[in-house]
A and B are shown apart, each in its own frame.
Chain A
Amino acid sequence: MKFRYKSIVPLLALGVLFSSCEKDNYAEPKTSLTGNIVYKGEPIGVEFGQVRLQLWQPGFGKLAPIDAPIDQDGSFSARLFDGNYKLVFTRNDGPWQTINKDASTRDTTMISLNGDQQVDIEVIPYYLIRNVTFSKEPKKVSSSFEVEKIITGTDARDVERVSLLISRTQFVSRANNIGITNKEGADVAGKTSFSLSVDVPTISPSQDFVFARVGVKIKDVEDMIFSRVEKIQL
């Protein structure tokens, strides 16, 4: 092909045009806010993207929350501009009760952000999952665990259902799994230790591992409490 000087002219013109543009008018937010939802320092496992932590920045413009979704291991993170923020849970969200600090702020956490910051939010879960063990058999994953009742007295809730879930990926939830075994009703009433097993279906494309976790559904509470996610080599 013969080199043509003319064909370069439009390209040069484009280059001249766009050289005057800046990428963006504003600098991106650089401060990171991270933390965990904890009970006595211990993170509480939940479903991915199901429990929401909202960040409100009062002061200007229309009010809308910045959602900081809580990850499976109870952690959250957000990239923000420096400033004052309020951290709140949406009402009745999460398998726990929030702690009212005083009458005016209730359970809101006030944060004044100036540089990266880590904030752990203390809540009281209805239950905690203890002593989780996973084991594998051919075409089967089993688990045994205990639950510890944290909230007792008038606010106590019963266990409605316990579940063992397996997934192809590390995201294991009621919405995203390839196998689930539930125990409910008489199988869970009044008990504190459970053992479950779930069949591993044929996975396509095939892989020789699955991720598993166990969860506890509490009566009249929407979100479940989950154990850590464990990778199981089949």
Chain B
Amino acid sequence: MKKITYFIMTLLLTVSWSCNDEDFLNRPPTSLLTEDQVYANDDVILSVLGDLYNRYNDFGNTSNWASISNFNEAFWSNAGNYGDFQNAGWGYDLGFTWDYGYIRDINQFLEKVEAADKITQASKDRFAAEARFLRASYYFEMVKREGGVPLILKTLTYDFSGDPTYLQYPRAKESEVYDFVIKEAEEIKVKLPASVAEKSRATKGAALAMEARAALYAGSIAKYGTKTPTVSLPGGEVGIPADKAPGYYTIALRAAKEIISGSAGAYALYTKKPDLSENFAALFYDKSNNPEVIFVNDYQLKYRTVGFTISNQPRFGAEEEEGGRINPSLNLVQSFEKLDNTFAPIPTGTSSGSGTPIYYNNQTDIFAGRDARLGGTVMLPGTQFKGRTVDIWAGVQLTDGSTISGDDRGAQKTLPGTTVPRQVVGFDGPIDGFEFTAQTGFYIRKYQDPIVGSGRRGTQSEVWFVRYRYADVLLTAAEAAFELGDPAAAAGYMNQVRARAGLTTPLTPAQITFDRIVHERRVELAFEGLEFFDIKRWRLGQEIFDGVPISTVSDLTSNIGKATKRRTQPWALWPYKVYAPGTPNDGKWIYKEKQLSRVTGSDRWQLGNYYAQIPDGIISNNPKLVRNPNH
């Protein structure tokens, strides 16, 4: 038996000797694609590009609910975030981003696509243009946050010589980076499709919208940078000379006009729904033939979903016991103007005005006659979401002026003169210091998905995040025209946006002021992640966040609509149900302004917040980088 085994083994070894080992071992892997294979096929190249799209960087995005609702436009009804309302401002690292790995990957993609010889010239052009759009977008993102950064436009390779100095590039001027973004947009717009239907890939419209926004930012930094002379560097890495402002505004207006004229496709304001508030909300969640949306971060159910609705849905009766985090502040709510184009506080009568409360038959009456965008941005007490009325009321008001409330959602108490306990506080709050209730009296409406299942953890939502939209382009045109001394044209653009919001009395050219421009962008683009950059480019930070608390109602309700209106603390507006049996006011509603006990700090903008601090580690690696001012 042993002999036979030896014999077989010897035979096998002899036979295997004759195999060609080179061939046998050198087989192409089945789980990896080589670069030559990748850049030989449109579909595979597209998936590489898809990764680059996924890494697009937003300051504010619905995937991070806090990021779009900062700067006291909302209170965060989430115990872990109360600290943000108890501190005195923001750190110097706010918004810092420095992903040169991403830049390198884009540069590498561009070089490989350029060298590819198995795909058509048309696909080459489009892929290259899209990658350049992403690269310009990221440089735009960096220049907004850190000022001028090194412009690296090819892949850099280390030669392992021990001396990396040839890889160290100094920072470009702030204006040079903006010029780069504008130039790239101009060059790629002809190579990108002029297609309104394409939302998640770069189009001609997206390139132009980026160009218009970049030029607008650069122009306003040049113009308003003179307000903060210490926020600049002698080498121009931060700060743009004031004489460049008209040039940038001209570019912004030209690029915006190119979209408005229809040369990039038939973009238009979204006006599908008859109810103007619902229409404004739908413009963000309606994904079929939406003519307003230009470029988005798209989501799709089952594959790539977003949990924004879960985090922020009205908590009561929601699909999960979760939600209610973003509570828009009264400061923002009251800045939505009245239909006659004037500004006015929300008329409560209690602590502001005459001192006697104003009684309302319905909870929503107090908000009547205002900009329709209010109801589309903010979920007001008494309005509906997913067919359910949000139950927001703080307590029961008795005839002697005292209130009865509870400390749990929907708490019940026995009212004087009765024997049966009844509900004395809404199931959605507000209860001071009770997280996930509507502590300011409001929930957010914008970007909430009304589809069934959007509030379930296992399903989530496919509502996209809009990066560029037509109304934003119109407001860019309006601002650029205004800054160039053409208020008539500015009024024309702005009135289109306002008419869609129900403000049908047009503003006259004389009524267009800097305050109006700031106000319009604030209410139209609230919770879209653009607030931060508007504050920065207009150099408004130290004026609106001056560290002085908003301690009285008259502080809160004065100067509404002014660009420099103080925003250091978020306020709340609490509804109360009147209990006065036998009197005409029984069952009516009154409202009271309220300072939340969790808001103890007042924000102060430091000059060092205008440009994020470049960490010491990065500067140590590349001593050619100069520090940002005030750091």
Is the beta-carbon distance between A62 and B616 smaller than 8 angstroms? yes
Q: Lowest 3 CB-CB distances: which A-B pairs, in order?
A: A175-B88, A62-B620, A64-B616
Chain A residues with Cβ below 8 Å from B629 are: 91-92
* Given A90-B631, A175-B601, A180-B549, also A220-B616 (CB < 8 A): no
Cβ 8 A contact of B630, one of A63, A91, A174, A220: A91
Q: Which residue of B lies closest to A224 (CB)?
A: B547
Q: CA of A90 to CA of B607 in the docked complex: distance in angstroms?
A: 12
Interface residue count for B (Cβ, 8 Å)? Answer: 25
The residue among A92, A173, A182 with the most chain B CB atoms within 10 A of its own CB is: A92
| B414 contacts partner chain A, Cβ-Cβ < 8 Å | no
* Given A175-B87, A175-B88, also A92-B620 (CB < 8 A): no
Q: CA of A92 to CA of B619 in the docked complex: distance in angstroms?
A: 20
Cβ 8 A contact of A222, one of B549, B606, B616: B606
Q: CA of A220 to CA of B231 in the docked complex: distance in angstroms?
A: 11
Could you tell me which residues of chain A, from 24 to 49, have a CB within 8 Å of some CB in chain B?
Answer: none
Q: CA of A175 to CA of B215 in the docked complex: distance in angstroms?
A: 37
| B145 contacts partner chain A, Cβ-Cβ < 8 Å | no
C-beta contact mask, A171-211 vs B, less than 8 Å → 1, else 0? 00111100010100000000000000000000000000000
C-beta contact mask, B602-617 vs A, less than 8 Å → 1, else 0? 1010110000000011
Q: Which residue of A lies closest to B605 (CB)?
A: A222
Q: CA of A90 to CA of B627 in the docked complex: distance in angstroms?
A: 10
| B37 contacts partner chain A, Cβ-Cβ < 8 Å | no
Q: Which residue of A lies closest to B606 (CB)?
A: A222
Chain A residues with Cβ below 8 Å from B229 are: 220
| A146 contacts partner chain B, Cβ-Cβ < 8 Å | no
Contacts across chains A and B counted by CB atoms under 8 Å: 47
Chain A residues with Cβ below 8 Å from B542 are: 222
Chain B residues with Cβ below 8 Å from A220 are: 228-230
| B507 contacts partner chain A, Cβ-Cβ < 8 Å | no
| B40 contacts partner chain A, Cβ-Cβ < 8 Å | no
| B548 contacts partner chain A, Cβ-Cβ < 8 Å | yes
Chain A residues with Cβ below 8 Å from B87 are: 175
Q: Which residue of A lies closest to B227 (CB)?
A: A220
Q: Which residue of A lies closest to B89 (CB)?
A: A175
Q: Which residue of A lies closest to B615 (CB)?
A: A64
Interface residue count for A (Cβ, 8 Å)? Answer: 16
Is the beta-carbon distance between B620 and A174 smaller than 8 angstroms? no
Residues of A at the B interface (CB closer than 8 Å) are 62-65, 90-93, 173-176, 180, 182, 220, 222
Would you list 6 pairs from A and B whose C-beta atoms are within 8 A, ordered by A residue? A63-B619, A64-B617, A90-B631, A91-B627, A92-B607, A173-B88
Q: Which residue of B lies closest to A176 (CB)?
A: B88
Is the beta-carbon distance between B547 and A174 smaller than 8 angstroms? yes
Q: Which residue of B lies closest to A182 (CB)?
A: B548
Chain A residues with Cβ below 8 Å from B230 are: 91-92, 220
* Given A93-B630, A180-B549, also A65-B607 (CB < 8 A): no
Could you tell me which residues of chain B, from 564 to 618, have a CB within 8 Å of some CB in chain A?
Answer: 601-602, 604, 606-607, 616-617
Is the beta-carbon distance between A65 and B88 smaller than 8 angstroms? no
* Given A91-B630, A175-B88, A175-B547, also A64-B604 (CB < 8 A): no
Chain B residues with Cβ below 8 Å from A173 are: 88
Is the beta-carbon distance between B548 and A180 smaller than 8 angstroms? yes
Q: Which residue of A lies closest to B87 (CB)?
A: A175
Q: CA of A91 to CA of B92 in the docked complex: distance in angstroms?
A: 14
Q: CA of A176 to CA of B542 in the docked complex: distance in angstroms?
A: 18
Q: CA of A220 to CA of B617 in the docked complex: distance in angstroms?
A: 31
Is the beta-carbon distance between A174 and B604 smaller than 8 angstroms? yes
Chain B residues with Cβ below 8 Å from A92 are: 230, 607, 629-630
Is the beta-carbon distance between A65 and B630 smaller than 8 angstroms? no
Chain B residues with Cβ below 8 Å from A91 are: 230, 627, 629-631
Shortest CB-to-CB span from A157 to chain B, Å, is 12
Is the beta-carbon distance between A63 and B620 smaller than 8 angstroms? yes
Shortest CB-to-CB span from A81 to chain B, Å, is 19
Q: CA of A222 to CA of B230 in the docked complex: distance in angstroms?
A: 10
Q: CA of A93 to CA of B630 in the docked complex: distance in angstroms?
A: 6
Chain A residues with Cβ below 8 Å from B627 are: 91
The residue among A63, A91, A180 with the most chain B CB atoms within 10 A of its own CB is: A91
Cβ 8 A contact of A62, one of B88, B549, B617: B617
Q: Which residue of A lies closest to B607 (CB)?
A: A222
Chain B residues with Cβ below 8 Å from A222 are: 542, 606-607, 630
- Known contacts A92-B607, A175-B601, A220-B228; 9 further A-B pairs (Cβ under 8 A): A62-B617, A90-B631, A91-B629, A174-B604, A175-B89, A175-B547, A180-B548, A222-B607, A222-B630
Is the beta-carbon distance between A90 and B630 smaller than 8 angstroms? yes
Q: CA of A145 to CA of B179 in the docked complex: distance in angstroms?
A: 52
Chain B residues with Cβ below 8 Å from A93 are: 630
Q: CA of A64 to CA of B623 in the docked complex: distance in angstroms?
A: 12
Could you tell me which residues of chain B, from 77 to 104, have a CB within 8 Å of some CB in chain A?
Answer: 87-89
Chain A residues with Cβ below 8 Å from B228 are: 220
Q: CA of A12 to CA of B120 in the docked complex: distance in angstroms?
A: 76
Chain A residues with Cβ below 8 Å from B630 are: 90-93, 222
Chain B residues with Cβ below 8 Å from A63 are: 616, 619-620, 623
Cβ 8 A contact of A174, one of B88, B617, B619, B631: B88
Is the beta-carbon distance between A65 and B547 smaller than 8 angstroms? no
Q: CA of A193 to CA of B503 in the docked complex: distance in angstroms?
A: 50
Chain A residues with Cβ below 8 Å from B620 are: 62-64
Shortest CB-to-CB span from A51 to chain B, Å, is 11
Shortest CB-to-CB span from A60 to chain B, Å, is 12
Q: CA of A42 to CA of B617 in the docked complex: distance in angstroms?
A: 37
Q: CA of A8 to CA of B294 in the docked complex: distance in angstroms?
A: 73
Chain A residues with Cβ below 8 Å from B621 are: 62
Could you tell me which residues of chain B, from 537 to 570, have a CB within 8 Å of some CB in chain A?
Answer: 542, 547-549
Q: Which residue of B lies closest to A174 (CB)?
A: B547
Shortest CB-to-CB span from A219 to chain B, Å, is 11
Cβ 8 A contact of B616, one of A65, A90, A180: A65
Chain B residues with Cβ below 8 Å from A174 are: 88, 547-548, 602, 604
